[in-house]
């Protein structure tokens, strides 16, 4: 297909084939570093002794793992995935242009046209072994530049901001009926919008103080006849028991150290929990720090350091999920891209088209998927942004259908309503 793969031509995409700053918005979203609810395995045993449902649960309805990594702040897609061979790339990117492959701090080549930022060495390795696909010129239907509205739309999965009151992942979990409450978890102190809704989910974040076991027992006794609260309490304790076991496993196994230790600990624990036979299957992980209005850097600098942390985090997920890696898919997305040209403070401003990643052992990887619009000024959206040509919902809908085995009708009508224009992308997942 020439310099890049193009999933908008030929038989590869079919619209309805089931087979297949505002300144006040610019405060960066940070990873929360305290526990969500309760801690302590003995408390869980106290709950079981008081007649609550035991922690030994029936088999879960799926053995597939799905992780959604939300990069809050708007990652510069042309920094993470430079289109270094586009004729206009060097001129329009200026001091933000990453050096060509083979040079110091140069692009890690993907296909002779696109590459990965030099900080993404582990992701480059996943691409080479066929466990990573890269998407470019990606956007939701949103065409403004507010963090708040853009994140809202990405999380609710609608065709406009505030188009739904619950998150698309919560609606997806609801398709599993009563089992949906056991499948989902947020690695944050609070439940993000993407997981909010009628299906209860757990949350976990590192840090915080222990809850005394006798307090948990008294709490369970008081609310023994409140089915909703009892269920939520059991989920919280169950998640924390698994988390404690996961952290002990990390310490025993010599988990990665250095860099952003909170992020490392969160991702490592997430992987161990997802690996557990009775653990959750679907998770949301939030990572902030991508709103690079100033001093962004090119091959090195502020953004390069942040990308390196993300790269190490995904590598840790892959390492710790090794026993279930062949049943795992990880989607990485951000709310919007950034301006193509550098601004007056050596950074980039809120834009439109960006990039997305799909990693995992179940992924039919080694591809860059895009309908590339080009970087010539005449091709930019509103003369400043990478023009969006691939709907983020097409990626998500296709992964849910192909990886989790959900019906296209459920994905299109229930999880992502009003999304018929976002058709399936074939063969994202291995047969």
Angle formed at CA 311 by CA 309 and CA 317, multiple of 5 degrees: 105
Range with the poorest average pLDDT among 254-263, 318-327, 349-358, 383-392: 254-263
Where does the pLDDT of residue 2 fall: very low under 50, low under 70, confident under 90, or very high at 90 and above? very low
CB 420 within 8 A of CB 16: yes
* Alpha-carbon gap, residue 417 to 402, rounded angstroms: 18
Strand ranges in 140-231 using DSSP code E only, listed in sequence order:
184-187, 202-203
Closest to 332 measured CA to CA, from 355, 356, 352, 354:
356
* Alpha-carbon gap, residue 352 to 347, rounded angstroms: 16
| Tokens, residue 280 | 């959750």
Sign of CA dihedral 108, 331, 300, 122: negative
170-179 pLDDT per residue, tens: 999 999 999 9
Task: Tell me what pLDDT residue 264 has.
Answer: 81
* Alpha-carbon gap, residue 41 to 46, rounded angstroms: 9
Domain containing 150 — which CATH number? 3.40.720
CA distances from 235 to 48, 73, 200 (A): 12, 31, 9
CB 173 within 8 A of CB 183: yes
| Tokens, residue 402 | 């192909």
Q: Compute the average pLDDT of residues 336-364.
A: 98
Q: Compute the average pLDDT of residues 141-147.
A: 96
Angle in degrees, 0-180, between the axes of helices 227-253 and 41-49, rounded to the nearest 10: 140
Maximum CA extent, the chain: 69
Domain presence at residue 23: no
* Alpha-carbon gap, residue 265 to 279, rounded angstroms: 17
Task: Tell me what pLDDT residue 218 has.
Answer: 58
Q: State the chain's mean pLDDT as an integer.
A: 83
Task: Tell me what pLDDT residue 209 has.
Answer: 44
Task: Tell me what pLDDT residue 258 has.
Answer: 36
Where does the pLDDT of residue 266 fall: very low under 50, low under 70, confident under 90, or very high at 90 and above? confident
Residue partners of 24: CB distance under 8 A and separation at least 6:
none
User: How would you classify the pairing of strands 328-334 and 354-359?
Assistant: antiparallel
243: domain range?
65-338+347-414
* Alpha-carbon gap, residue 60 to 139, rounded angstroms: 33
Domain presence at residue 144: yes
Domain presence at residue 36: no
Domain presence at residue 17: no
Domain presence at residue 59: no
Where does the pLDDT of residue 109 fall: very low under 50, low under 70, confident under 90, or very high at 90 and above? very high
23: left (phi over 0), alpha (psi -120 to 50) or beta: alpha
Domain presence at residue 48: no
Domain presence at residue 180: yes
Residue 11 neighbours by CB distance under 10 Å: 8
pTM over 0.85: no
What is the length of the chain? 431
Domain presence at residue 385: yes
Q: What is the dihedral of CA 17, 386, 166, 179, to 10 degrees?
A: 50
| Tokens, residue 192 | 């993000």
Task: Tell me what pLDDT residue 236 has.
Answer: 52
Number of domains composing the chain = 1
Task: Tell me what pLDDT residue 217 has.
Answer: 57
269-278 pLDDT per residue, tens: 899 999 998 8
């Amino acid at each position: 297909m020439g310099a890049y793969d193009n999933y908008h031509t030929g038989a590869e995409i079919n619209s309805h084939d089931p087979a297949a700053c505002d300144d006040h918005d610019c405060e960066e979203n940070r990873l929360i570093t305290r526990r969500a609810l309760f801690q302590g395995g003995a408390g869980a045993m106290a709950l079981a002794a008081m007649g609550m449902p035991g922690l030994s649960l029936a088999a879960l309805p799926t053995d597939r793992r799905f992780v959604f990594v939300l990069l809050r702040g708007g990652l510069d897609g042309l920094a993470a995935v430079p289109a270094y061979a586009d004729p206009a790339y060097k001129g329009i990117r200026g001091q933000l242009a990453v050096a060509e492959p083979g040079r110091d701090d140069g692009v890690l080549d993907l296909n002779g046209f696109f590459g990965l930022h030099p900080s993404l060495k582990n992701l480059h390795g996943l691409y080479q072994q066929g466990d990573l696909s890269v998407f470019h010129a990606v956007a939701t239907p949103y065409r403004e530049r507010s963090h708040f509205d853009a994140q809202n739309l990405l999380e609710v999965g609608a065709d406009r901001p505030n188009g739904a009151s619950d998150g698309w992942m919560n609606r997806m979990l609801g398709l599993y009926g009563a089992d949906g409450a056991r499948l989902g978890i947020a690695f944050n102190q609070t439940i993000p919008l993407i997981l909010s809704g009628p299906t209860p989910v757990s949350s976990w974040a590192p840090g915080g103080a222990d809850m005394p076991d006798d307090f948990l027992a008294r709490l369970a006794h008081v609310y023994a006849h409140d089915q909703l609260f009892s269920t939520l309490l059991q989920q919280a304790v169950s998640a924390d028991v698994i988390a404690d076991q996961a952290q002990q496993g990390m310490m025993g196994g010599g988990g990665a150290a250095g860099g952003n230790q909170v992020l490392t600990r969160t991702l490592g624990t997430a992987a161990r929990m997802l690996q557990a036979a009775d653990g959750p299957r679907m998770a949301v992980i939030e990572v902030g720090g991508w709103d690079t209005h100033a001093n962004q850097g090119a091959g090195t600098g502020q953004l390069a350091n942040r990308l390196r942390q993300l790269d190490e985090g995904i590598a840790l997920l892959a390492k710790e999920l090794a026993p279930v890696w062949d049943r795992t898919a990880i989607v990485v997305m951000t709310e919007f891209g950034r301006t193509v040209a550098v601004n007056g403070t050596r950074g980039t401003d809120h834009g439109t088209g960006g990039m997305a990643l799909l990693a995992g052992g179940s992924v039919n990887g080694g591809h860059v998927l895009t309908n590339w619009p080009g970087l010539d000024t005449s091709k930019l959206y509103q003369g400043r942004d990478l023009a969006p040509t691939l709907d983020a919902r097409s990626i998500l809908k296709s992964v849910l259908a192909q990886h989790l085995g959900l019906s296209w009708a459920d994905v299109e009508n229930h999880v992502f309503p009003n999304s018929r224009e976002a058709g399936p992308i074939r063969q994202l997942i291995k047969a």
